Amino acid sequence: MSERWRETPVIAVGSGKGGVGKSTVTVNLAVALARSGYRVGLLDADILGYSVCRLLGVGTIAPADFNGEVLEPVTAWGVKMISMGLFTGQEELPLIWRGPIVSGILKRFIHNVNWGELDYLLIDLPPGTGDVALTIMHELPQLKLLVITTPQESAAHVAVRLAHMATRAKVSLLGLVENMARFACPQCGAEYDIFGPGQAGSLAQKLGTTFFGALPLEAATRLACDEGRPIVVNDESPSSAAYRAIARGIADASRTA
């Protein structure tokens, strides 16, 4: 284990599958923690499918900047961030690399970035339980895993697989967050469970871990993502209040777990 991260809480955020809003949740939790006064780093471990740059409203940097021995993170919304998206030169450029190359880049992001002093490092994992997750868990065995799911049965089943992977890798499971939990009609206020009733609470109980809360399905979140402005900075949004509450719970749990 790297001495650099021995005293810093590291939280890897995973979902096991795509389409559950994991990167959006990771970004907003990072910003929520930063707005609470914590020094926060965000590592985009989805090397081939990076999206954190766009979600934070950060553009690309010339590819030459990737050649330095120590990489410099970019600060956005109070969060220090590193992502392969900073170095491609163009957002539409596909990265067609095999596992060993991806693992090598991940190790650089973990060990060769000038993070400075941090209170938290959040890692946005790619979907699945493959090479990237294994590399992260091997390099940072002290990390805690936060699983993002949705009310859908398919998402819940995959979340369980990811939790079981953490157990097999001897990584601590921090807890669960349910995204896209409920939609409130902006005209009449009626609430609808578009993806079905929430089940993350019972799932967390089954896994013996913490359920930190549910995030609503809100059009403003999609608009905020497109604009590169995290929804958590909009204090009038129901999603913002939910993110702040979840971030407080995670801060408490990660310091005592």
pLDDT at 250 over 90: yes
Bridge partner residues of 123 (DSSP): 12, 43
Report the pLDDT value the prediction gives residue 190, as an integer from 0 to 100.
80
Rounded to 10 degrees, the C-alpha dihedral 58/63/64/68 comes to: 70
Structure tokens belonging to residue 26: 């990771």
Please name the CATH architecture into which domain 4-255 falls: 3-Layer(aba) Sandwich (3.40)
- The string of pLDDT tens digits covering residues 6-59 is 889 999 999 878 889 999 999 999 999 999 999 999 999 999 999 999 999 997
Is 19 known to sit in a ligand binding site?
yes
pLDDT at 156 over 90: no
Pairwise CA distance, residues 72 & 87, whole Å: 11
More confident residue, 171 or 128: 171
Long-range contacts, 162-166 (Cβ 8 Å, 24+): 162/14, 162/15, 162/16, 162/129, 162/133, 163/207, 163/209, 165/129, 165/133, 166/137
Is 233 known to sit in a ligand binding site?
no
Give the residue from 239, 230, 209 showing the smallest Cα distance to 145. Answer: 209
Is 170 known to sit in a ligand binding site?
no
Instruction: Report the DSSP pairing between strands 79-82 and 74-76.
Output: antiparallel
Is 18 known to sit in a ligand binding site?
yes
Is 189 known to sit in a ligand binding site?
no
8 A C-beta contact, residue 217 and residue 228: no
Q: What is the mean pLDDT of the chain?
A: 90
8 A C-beta contact, residue 45 and residue 109: yes
Is 16 known to sit in a ligand binding site?
yes
Rounded to 10 degrees, the C-alpha dihedral 237/239/245/246 comes to: -160
Is 20 known to sit in a ligand binding site?
yes
- Percent of all residues in the chain with a pLDDT value above 70, rounded to a whole number: 96
Structure tokens belonging to residue 106: 């991940």
Structure tokens belonging to residue 61: 């940097």
Percentages (nearest 5) of helix, strand, coil residues in the chain: 40, 20, 40
- The string of pLDDT tens digits covering residues 78-91 is 999 999 999 887 77
Is 128 known to sit in a ligand binding site?
no
Pairwise CA distance, residues 15 & 26, whole Å: 11
- The string of pLDDT tens digits covering residues 187-200 is 887 888 777 777 88
Pairwise CA distance, residues 57 & 178, whole Å: 25
Q: Give CA angle at 252 (117, 114), nearest 5°.
A: 15
CA atoms within 13 A on the CB side of 22: 28
Give the residue from 213, 221, 212, 219 showing the smallest Cα distance to 240. Answer: 221
